[in-house]
Amino acid sequence: MKDFENSLKDYQTNWRLAHLPLIIGNGTQNGISKPYILPNRDYLQNFFPDIRDSLFEELDGYVKSKRVKPHTGIHNLMSSWVVCANMYWPFRNPEGFTLLATFLKEVTGLDIHEITEMDLEYEDDDNDFKPGKLLGEDEGGMRGSGQTSPDLAIRFTTKESKTGIILIESKFSEHSFYSCSGYSKTKPGKPINDKKDRCLNPSLIVDSDFKECHLTSWNRKYWDLLGKELDRRKFSSLKKCPMSSSCYQLFRQQALAKGLEQKYDISVSAVATDSRNEELKNSSIRNGMNPFPEGWRELFPNLKLYWFTHNDWFSFVKQNNLNSRWNRWVEYIGVRYDY
């Protein structure tokens, strides 16, 4: 039986042959040419037609005005960034916000009365809450590159007029939430991690009050925000620091959500993925954790991590498609992603 990623590659290739027959040739990404990668010039064909036609000017204007750097795989039919845009951006309007608020209230239990804004590659407008200041990340980063920028952010108000924000990491065929830059990469002007064995010894990291985490030498503030929230005994029992192999994006987004509690009454982290991607859910096992999301919740029992699927969102829209308002979206998404 094929794994999800390879099955998806075959499906997207066949979808392209059936629906984009006039596009000739394969595109490349990271030096690799595949039939599920469109030529760069045809990247718009990767989007839901309403985005391409009436909404793309709005999306393109948003990207430019907010200085968002689209992912390098914007022409890749497997792109999770494009999935995020296709799945949620068409609902950035009063009717869509109402529907999305109802869905998110059901899957999170949060008191979401009204959605006020939706952001791609979110960065707060307030300088005190930008990743450079709040998380100690490099000042040269921008939305979508070189900093913690959640794929999707939903801002809302409660019935009591409290403010809230949900930071959402969108995944599709990815195998994990990637490895820590302090473990797997070198950065110009930053100390080199020449003692990587520390990253394989969680108890050492905890016993040092996180000073042995190489990220502290880069002045990253993740542990400043999350250290007190960690179940240290649980963390110390793991095979290695989970951020070294499969949890880094979750870690950074959780830290951002914690930091934004200073601004919002409710600030939480969430993940949206494909329900068929079992490899992603099980990627935490290699660290000695339980599968996601339970394994992560056990490490940070007092913090909220919500997990929902693109499939559930699709089904919800399909079931609540009053007056056939979302017919075009349902028809496209159902075929495009085999939902």
Question: pLDDT value at position 196?
Answer: 93
Span 121-167, pLDDT tens digits: 888 888 898 888 899 987 765 554 556 889 999 999 999 999 999 99
Above pLDDT 90, what percent of the chain?
79
- Reading the block at residue 219, the tokens are 């002045």
Domain-embedded: residue 259: yes
Do the domain assignments include residue 219?
no
In a domain, 35, yes or no: yes
State the total domains in the chain. 1
Q: Where is mean pLDDT largest: 71-80, 185-194, 317-326?
A: 317-326
Domain span including residue 261: 4-178+246-336
C-alpha–C-alpha distance, residues 140 and 151, integer Å: 19
| 251 in any annotated domain | yes
Is this prediction's pTM over 0.85?
yes
pLDDT tens for each residue of 252-273: 999 999 999 999 999 999 999 9
pLDDT in tens, 288-324: 999 999 999 999 999 999 999 999 999 999 999 989 9
Contact 171, 272 (CB under 8 A): yes
Q: Which residues pair with 266 in a beta bridge?
A: 164
Is 328 within 8 Å of 49 (Cβ atoms)?
A: yes
What's the mean pLDDT in 204-218? Answer: 96
Residue 220 lies in a domain: no
**Is the pLDDT confidence value at 65 over 70?**
no
Split at pLDDT 50, 70, 90, the class of 276 is very high
List, as own/partner pairs, every contact residues 144-148 make where C-beta atoms lie below 8 angstroms and the sequence separation is at least 24, other chains included. 144/68, 144/69, 144/70, 144/71, 145/69, 147/123, 148/252, 148/253, 148/255, 148/256
Within a domain: residue 194?
A: no
Q: What pLDDT, on the 0 to 100 scale, is given for residue 144?
A: 46
Whether 44 contacts 74, CB under 8 Å? no
Transcribe 7-56 into DSSP letters. Answer: HHHHHHHHHHHHH-TT--S-EEETTEEETTB--GGGGGGGS-HHIIIIIH
Encode 214-224: b = buried (16+ Cβ within 10 Å), e = exposed: bbbebebbbbb
- Tell me whether residue 184 is in a domain: no
pLDDT of residue 70: 63
**Mean pLDDT within 209-219:** 95
Average pLDDT over residues 106-128: 93
Q: How confident is the model at residue 72 (pLDDT cuts 50, 70, 90)?
A: confident
Q: Is a pLDDT exceeding 70 seen at residue 189? A: yes
Q: Model confidence over 165-174: pLDDT tens digits?
A: 999 999 999 9
Mean pLDDT across the chain: 91
Residue-level pLDDT at 62: 61
Mean of the pLDDT values across residues 203-214?
97
236: in domain: no
